[in-house]
Amino acid sequence: RLFCSKQWYQRRVRGMSHIVYSKTYTTPRRPFEKERLDSELKLIGEFGLRNKREVWRVKYTLAKIRKAARELLTLEDKDPRRLFEGNAILRRLVRIGVLDENRMKLDYVLGLKTEDFLERRLQTQVFKLGLAKSIHHARVLIRQKHIRVRKQVVNIPSFIVRLDAQKHIDIAINSAYGSGREGRVKRKRMRAGAGGAGDNDEDED
């Protein structure tokens, strides 16, 4: 290159590749807006989220989908790009359970809400299936690798569950809640109980 920075040249000489990371969320333009703060706090409590970054991440995903839908709606109905890309977006949304099959139109994509995507999180689905006592308990079970989707153990609470995989959510085979061996604390208590029983037998003798 004729005009290149010193840092770029040093990277090339040392064999370092320049990694570009894409954005996963955007921060609000107005950080202290009361209505938005209240709504985000409500979502965090309702869906057991860790922080507001998780809300912003879903909002950013929804914003990108809605932006793509708005651009396609400006094209003609028979436009090849609108037919191809529009059907791809709609099929994807139906597959993850965000959009109903009888509402496969781009107009309905603009009406999607953040809650529609949060409902499809693995954490929410585990709680609704009754595998956890609360939405927060569901997050703990997932992080401690007690939950599987089909045969795969998933430890990511924000994992988006597809419709065809929803009925395959269950307790992991190797989990202490399933057919696996007891947990560390329970084994410790059992050993302590067995030792106490042995001491009592010796006292009786």
CA distances from 197 to 42, 52, 118, 150, 200 (A): 51, 51, 50, 42, 5
Is 139 within 8 Å of 157 (Cβ atoms)?
A: yes
Q: What is the pLDDT of residue 170?
A: 95
Q: What is the pLDDT of residue 71?
A: 96
CA distances from 130 to 92, 115, 135 (A): 27, 20, 10
Report the candidate in 125, 133, 128, 200 with the shortest Cα–Cα distance to residue 165. Answer: 125
Q: What is the rounded CA–CA span in Å between residue 141 and residue 48?
A: 13
Q: What is the pLDDT of residue 9?
A: 60
Q: For tokens 């090339």, what's the residue?
A: 12
Q: What is the rounded CA–CA span in Å between residue 109 and residue 88?
A: 12
Is 175 within 8 Å of 132 (Cβ atoms)?
A: no
Question: 37-84 pLDDT, tens per residue?
Answer: 999 999 999 999 999 999 999 999 999 999 999 999 999 999 999 999
pTM: 0.80
Q: For tokens 């037998």, what's the residue?
A: 201
Tokens of 40: 């985000």
Which SS3 state, helix, strand or coil, does residue 94 take? Answer: helix
Confidence of residue 184 (pLDDT cuts 50, 70, 90): confident
Q: What is the pLDDT of residue 14?
A: 58
Higher pLDDT, 8 or 156: 156
Report the candidate in 59, 61, 83 with the shortest Cα–Cα distance to residue 73. Answer: 83
Q: For tokens 């603009």, what's the residue?
A: 110
Confidence of residue 17 (pLDDT cuts 50, 70, 90): low
Question: 151-176 pLDDT, tens per residue?
Answer: 999 999 999 999 999 999 999 998 88
Q: What is the pLDDT of residue 15?
A: 56
Q: Which residues face 169 on adjacent strands?
A: 149
Higher pLDDT, 31 or 18: 31
Which SS3 state, helix, strand or coil, does residue 147 take? Answer: strand
Confidence of residue 22 (pLDDT cuts 50, 70, 90): confident
Question: 91-150 pLDDT, tens per residue?
Answer: 999 999 999 999 999 999 999 999 999 999 999 999 999 999 999 999 999 999 999 999
Tokens of 12: 């090339």
